[in-house]
């Protein structure tokens, strides 16, 4: 079974909408051993637009290209069973768009700090990374035992959970530098544990072998990150 | 045995040079069960200065602070056996500076693309990452099966090895976008294998479970990345 990717504007992979997509669908459906299952489009550049209305508009422009192409493929006599689209920033827009019958949000179960920055996402971040303060050289600077190898650099620095007045000012390889404001809501010392919400969970979770599932103060399960290292 | 880190200008961890460093050394040497072994300083901000002469000047300013403090600690009657400094961009400057007896370059065995950008480093990059072209949607764009989870984002995009006219224009999570110029020295197609030199090997090697050691065209060993995931 083959799903054909259509380039709806991200300009990454995918065949162009319209004629090239129809021709590829015909080629697939005529190929021995292959079954043409459907199409997908990914509006990856549009899902990060902060304002919901603007995001909706940009996403719908992508879906329009996708659905028009679906209709052309069907006109060529080929069944299109699956029509996939959407990301974590657009799952609700994609889900309501006529003709889309599968959504593909990757983050929604754990979310990221970067999703807090865009409007209209009803989920809270579930994934946090626990670090320890290993140094507090001045009143305004503390150093944690987490850096690029802990959080990744994708979409910026992590944000601290449940403490006011603390920001990450830099990530080094194995160190993170915290800037402490004078009205910091916790008096932080060496040895203190702090939780961070990574800017982009997908590239952070991949840096760990396991995830601890916590309910209240209790660890109720330990999950292996099965896909870790599966980039080869 | 304790090595005391002295902040020579990076403003990360480390006690301030001079009096605070001497007081800490005294505290350590008087503590039961601890032996004061020596000091280290890391001129992390200076080792990336492109021009060698400027880099040398900035590094020596850091070493001056370090060695002056060593002398003050010795004046207080404490032996300083180990005096460590230097990084991959400054190993030769540190090694020749009077009073430094240990250098700590982390990258020199494998190097990175970013080390090619600074003057006066006599080693070549040894670490490459092999990827495959999975899509070539246009004559000027190809997509590889390597992205942020393969190269990390530290210090920029990887550079291609042994092919002219190809640059990485973007890294997505699992995809890399290549820009192909019209004078590209190889006619690249889907399925072709391409080697890249990561911008910063330290955060890239950490994304893999093993490293293949190659001599000519032969894999002569497979090494496990023992420290992978040791961020906890």
Q: What is the pLDDT of residue A108?
A: 87
Q: In terms of domains, do B141 and B196 share one?
A: yes
Q: What is the pLDDT of residue A80?
A: 98
| Whether the Cβ atoms of residue B187 and residue B194 lie closer than 8 Å to each other | no
Q: Is the pLDDT of residue B108 over 90?
A: no
Per the domain annotation, does B124 fall within a domain?
A: no
Q: What is the pLDDT of residue B145?
A: 97
Beta strands in chain A (DSSP E): 2-6, 36-41, 82-85, 102-103, 129-138, 141-144, 159-160, 166-171, 176-180, 193-197, 210-215, 218-224
Q: Is the pLDDT of residue B181 over 80?
A: yes
Among the partner-chain residues B15, B16, B172, the one whose CB lies closest to the CB of A12 is B172
| Chain A residues touching B13 at Cβ < 8 A | 134-135, 137, 143, 175
3-state secondary structure chain B: CEEEEECCCCCCCCECCCHHHHHHHHHHHHCCCCCEEEEEECCCCCCCCCCHHHHHHHHHHHHHHHHHHHHHHHHCCCCCCEEEECCCCCHHHHHCCCCCCEECCCCCCCCCHHHHHCCCCCCCCCCCEEEEEEEEEECCEEEECCCHHHHCCCCCCCEECCCCCEEEEEECCCCEEEEECCCCCCCCCCCCEEEEECCCHHHHHCCCCEEEEEECCEEEEEEECCCCCCCC
CA distances from B135 to A14, A42, B90 (A): 8, 15, 41
Q: In terms of domains, do B195 and B150 share one?
A: yes
List the domain range (segments joined by +) for residue B201.
129-224
CA B14 to the chain's CA centroid: 20
Q: Tell me how far apart the terminal alpha carbons of chain B are, to the nearest angstrom.
A: 23
Structural domain count, chain B: 2
Pairing, β A176-180 against β A141-144: antiparallel
| Chain B residues touching A175 at Cβ < 8 A | 12-13
Q: In terms of domains, do A150 and A195 share one?
A: yes
ipTM for the assembly = 0.92
Mean pLDDT for back-to-back runs of 10 residues, chain A (232 residues)? 97 96 98 98 95 98 98 98 96 97 93 94 94 95 97 96 96 97 93 98 94 96 91 70
Say whether B173 and A154 touch across the interface (CB within 8 A). yes
Per the domain annotation, does B123 fall within a domain?
A: no
Q: Nearest CA of chain A to the CA of B186: how many Å?
A: 21
Q: In terms of domains, do B136 and B91 share one?
A: no
| Whether the Cβ atoms of residue B66 and residue B12 lie closer than 8 Å to each other | no
Per the domain annotation, does A117 fall within a domain?
A: no
Say whether B209 and A203 touch across the interface (CB within 8 A). no
Q: What is the pLDDT of residue A232?
A: 63
Q: Which residue of A has its CA nearest to B141?
A: A12
Q: Hey, what long-range contacts does B221-228 have (CB within 8 A, 24 or more apart)?
A: B228/A229
DSSP one-letter code for A50: S
Q: In terms of domains, do A89 and A133 share one?
A: no
Q: In this structure, what CATH number is given to the domain that contains residue A84?
A: 3.20.20.10
Per the domain annotation, does B113 fall within a domain?
A: no
Tokens 């590889």 sit on residue: B144
Q: What is the pLDDT of residue B232?
A: 63
pLDDT tens-digit profile of B203-225?
A: 999 999 999 999 999 999 999 99
Per the domain annotation, does A119 fall within a domain?
A: no
Q: In terms of domains, do A94 and A33 share one?
A: yes
Cβ atoms within 10 Å of A212's Cβ, excluding its own? 11
Query: Please, which pLDDT band fits residue B105 given cuts at 50, 70 and 90?
Result: very high
Q: In terms of domains, do A78 and A152 share one?
A: no
Mutation site for B-interface testing, chosen from A40, A129, A142, A149 by largest number of B Cβ within 10 Å: A149
Q: Is the pLDDT of residue B176 over 90?
A: yes
Say whether A231 and B174 touch across the interface (CB within 8 A). yes
Q: Tell me how far apart the terminal alpha carbons of chain A are, to the nearest angstrom.
A: 23
Say whether B13 and A145 touch across the interface (CB within 8 A). no
Q: In this structure, what CATH number is given to the domain that contains residue A181?
A: 2.40.37.20
CA B65, B69, B75: angle at the middle one, nearest 5? 150
Q: In terms of domains, do A78 and A139 share one?
A: no
Say whether A229 and B208 touch across the interface (CB within 8 A). yes
Per the domain annotation, does A61 fall within a domain?
A: yes
Per the domain annotation, does B101 fall within a domain?
A: yes
- Looking at per-residue pLDDT, the higher value among B227 and A98 belongs to A98
CA distances from B61 to B9, B45, B95 (A): 9, 12, 15
Per the domain annotation, does B121 fall within a domain?
A: no
Q: In terms of domains, do A144 and A176 share one?
A: yes
Q: Nearest CA of chain A to the CA of B200: how many Å?
A: 10
Question: In chain B, pLDDT over 70 holds for what percent of residues?
Answer: 100
| Chain A residues touching B209 at Cβ < 8 A | 229
pLDDT tens-digit profile of B118-155?
A: 999 989 999 999 999 999 999 999 999 999 999 999 99
């Amino acid at each position: 079974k083959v799903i054909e990717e259509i380039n709806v504007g991200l300009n990454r992979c995918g065949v162009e909408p319209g004629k090239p997509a129809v021709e590829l669908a015909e080629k697939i459906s005529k190929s021995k051993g292959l079954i043409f299952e459907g199409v997908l489009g990914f509006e990856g550049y549009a899902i990060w637009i902060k304002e919901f209305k603007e995001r909706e508009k940009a996403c719908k422009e992508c879906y329009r290209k996708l659905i028009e192409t679906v209709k052309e493929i069907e006109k060529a006599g080929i069944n299109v069973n699956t029509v996939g689209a959407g990301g974590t920033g657009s799952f609700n827009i994609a889900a309501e768009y006529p003709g889309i019958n599968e959504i593909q949000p990757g983050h929604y179960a754990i979310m990221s700090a970067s999703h807090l920055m865009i409007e209209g996402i009803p989920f809270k971040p579930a994934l946090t990374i626990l670090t320890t303060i290993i140094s507090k050289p001045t009143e305004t600077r503390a150093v944690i035992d987490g850096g690029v190898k802990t959080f990744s650099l994708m979409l910026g620095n992590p944000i601290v959970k449940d403490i006011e007045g603390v920001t990450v000012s830099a990530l080094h390889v194995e160190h993170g530098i915290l800037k402490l404001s004078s009205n910091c809501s916790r008096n932080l010392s060496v040895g203190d544990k702090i939780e961070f919400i990574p800017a982009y969970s997908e590239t952070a979770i991949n840096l760990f072998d396991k995830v601890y599932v916590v309910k209240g103060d209790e660890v109720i399960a330990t999950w292996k990150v099965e896909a870790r290292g599966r980039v080869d």
